[in-house]
Amino acid sequence: MTRVYLKNNIKKRIEKGHPWVYENEVERIEGEYAAGDMVEVYNFKGKFVGKGYINPKSLILIRLMTRNKFEEIDEEFFRRRITRAWEYRKKVVDTTSCRVVYGEADEIPGLIVDKFNDYLSIQTLTYGIEQYKDIIVNILDEVIRPAGIYERNDSTVRELEGLVQKKGFLKGIFEPYTIIQENGVKMYVDIENGQKTGYFLDQRENRLAIQDIVKDSTVLDCFCHTGSFALHAAYFGAKHVTAVDISEHAIETAKKNVVLNHMEGKIDFVCANAFDLLREYQMEGRQFDVVILDPPAFTKSAKKIESAYKGYKEINLRGLKLVKPGGFLVTASCSHYMYPQLFREMLQEAAFDAKKTIREVEFRTQAKDHPYLWNYEESLYLKFFILNVW
């Protein structure tokens, strides 16, 4: 097998368990290889570090699959890993709808699998894992026995790997649209055209965490998407919810979810840019008992963290000004590079500039079916605060 040797002066990140090897960390490669091939990785002293697939077209040259030199990457390997991932979910979450495989955090780099009722939505995001897609689909069918499997490989990430975007049925022909139930709230999931794999499961436990603070409250939910937080707020007894999103399509789906849950009259929807609307509401002197901010990632790159920081600070500052004294700010970031401490510092600055005092009620991360692998810090991406505001 082709051998890859790491440079002498690199940090011990890879040897300590991080699964990514960048091109600039490699001293030399001994042997021939093509994109998707398995290679062995050694440190500069010749000590075996791990085995994984290589792709010279990718920003990440190698993604490690195993630290065991003698473990073969074959059908049985994927059966062990997928079964282990599934058994873990069965212990920690309701598996009616959940994330089944979370890439590197489940030691299957590049593979995402979500389950919505009896259907699986799958993403093979890297060239290396794409080579095993048929094997993976067969094992998922064997282990989980879904009614159908749908491919959501319409992500631009695949193009960085030299892959084309595509989506379609991998097992069965079915209506790629289903209704899931989350914390008692029903939600439409568009497996074919919804965001990512169809729905954001990672905030499930955080949506449950707002139940006590929203009762009998007026709530402003910004970046509401298809209404998951807004619907939870109404379900948990909010007096009234104003939900905001810039996407007309997302709001139309959210309105369907309102009807589905018989919540007509409890939620008003506004199609607008949340930045502009927060500023407008502030100028009007409007206030709410609870303000929820759950924006999309403002950056997926460390190089853009400065501008992302400014964006997060602006929306949180304005959100804080709209909270009634004694009310609550519920705020989140799904940008990995907005590290927990940096996010906390930003909130402190925003509170100072808004002339508000904040008390931390709760800090949370992503749901348990999106586990944080300590050797792979990129697997911790979601930060979620509930703050009491004065």
| d(C-alpha 390, C-alpha 326), whole Å | 5
Helix (H) or strand (E) holding 323: strand 323-333
Q: Does the pTM exceed 0.75?
A: yes
* Domain 200-389 in the same topology as domain 3-66: no
| d(C-alpha 231, C-alpha 254), whole Å | 9
Burial 134-166 (b: 16+ CB within 10 A, else e): ebbbbbbbeebebebbbbbbebeebebbebeee
Q: Positive or negative CA dihedral for 42, 48, 49, 55?
A: positive
The pLDDT score that the predictor gives to residue 11 is: 78
Q: How far, in whole angstroms, is CA 327 from its chain's centroid?
A: 28
Told to judge if 222 belongs to the known catalytic residues of this protein, a careful annotator would answer: no
The pLDDT score that the predictor gives to residue 301 is: 80
The CATH code that applies to domain 3-66 is 2.30.130.10
Set 98, 222, 224, 334: catalytic member: 334
200-389 classified as CATH 3.40.50.150: yes
- For 1, other C-beta atoms within 10 Å of its C-beta total 12
The pLDDT score that the predictor gives to residue 115 is: 98
Q: Any idea which fold 75-178 has?
A: Transcription Regulator spoIIAA (3.30.750)
Spatial neighbors of 97 by CB under 8 A, at least 6 apart, are 114, 115, 116, 117, 180, 181, 182, 189, 199, 201
Size of the chain in residues? 390
Domains of the chain, by residue range, sit at 3-66, 75-178, 200-389
pLDDT per position in the chain (390 positions), as tens?
A: 999 999 998 778 999 999 999 999 999 999 999 999 999 999 999 999 999 999 999 989 999 999 999 999 999 999 999 999 999 999 999 999 999 999 999 999 999 999 999 999 999 999 999 999 999 999 999 999 999 999 999 999 999 999 999 999 999 999 999 999 999 999 999 999 999 999 999 999 999 999 999 999 999 999 999 999 999 999 999 999 999 999 999 999 999 999 999 999 999 999 999 999 999 999 999 999 999 999 998 888 888 899 999 999 999 999 999 999 999 999 999 999 999 999 999 999 999 999 999 999 999 999 999 999 999 999 999 999 999 999
